[in-house]
Amino acid sequence: MTTWTAPTPNREREPLTGPERQMLQGWLDRHRQTLLTKCAGLTAPQLKTASTEPSNLTLLGLVRHMTEVERWWFRIRAAGQTLPDLYCPEGNDDGDFDDVAEADAEANFAAFDAEIEAADKAVADLPLDHEFTTNRGSTISLRWVYIHMIEEYARHNGHADLIRERLDGTTGD
C-alpha cells in the first residue's frame, strides 16, 4: 500500500507587469501555490501535526481554512452563489482548524483544488469594480476581495513556513 503525500504544485512566477486583473490573479495564484508548496511531500499525519502546544494550527487546517475562504469570498459573496460551508457547519465556526484528526487529507487537497477552480470561474466575467453587500452591511468590490485574499494567503503562508520548519526543517520559498 502506497502512502499518500501532498503533491508538489506547478509553481509559476507571479507577473511582473500587465493589466491590473492579470497582476491580481497572478499574485493570488502564486500565494495559492506557495501554500501547497509548504505541504508538498508530507504525509497525512504530518499535515495534521499541530505547530506547538497549545495551538491546534496545522498545515491541513490551513488548507481546509483557505478552501472555505475561497468559497466564501469568491463564490458566496462576490458571485452570490448559495452554497454550504465545507468544514464549518453552524455551531462549529472553527471546524476547518479543529476537526483535522479524522479528516481525509487527500480529499481535502482535492477539495482545495476544486474550490480554486470554481472560485476563479465564478468571478471570471465579473469586473473588478463589481460590488456586493456583506452580511454586516458593508459594500465591497471584487478588487477588494482579490487584495484581501492575497493578504490572507500571505499571512497564513507565514504560519505554514513555521509549521513546515518544525516538522522537518524545510525552509524557504
For range 17-40, the mean pLDDT? 96
Task: Decide if 48 contacts 170 (C-beta within 8 A).
Answer: no
Domain residue extents for the chain: 20-168
Q: Could you tell me where the DSSP H helices lie in 40-83?
A: 44-47, 59-70
Q: What is the DSSP letter of 5?
A: B
* pLDDT of residue 60 exceeding 80: yes
Express each pLDDT in 118-127 by its tens digit.
Answer: 999 999 999 9
Residue 140: per-residue pLDDT: 96
What was the pLDDT predicted at 82?
96
Of the candidates 123, 118, 158, 163, the residue with the CA atom closest to the CA atom of residue 143: 123
pLDDT at 4: 87
Mean pLDDT over 150-165 rounds to: 96
Which residues share a beta bridge with 141? 131
Local structure of 169: helix, strand or coil: coil
Is residue 15 scored above 90 in pLDDT?
Answer: no
What is the value of pTM for the model shown? 0.94
Asked whether the beta carbons of 73 and 130 are under 8 A apart, the reply is no
Give the pLDDT confidence score for residue 1 in this predicted structure: 60
Please provide the CATH number assigned to the domain covering 20-168: 1.20.120.450
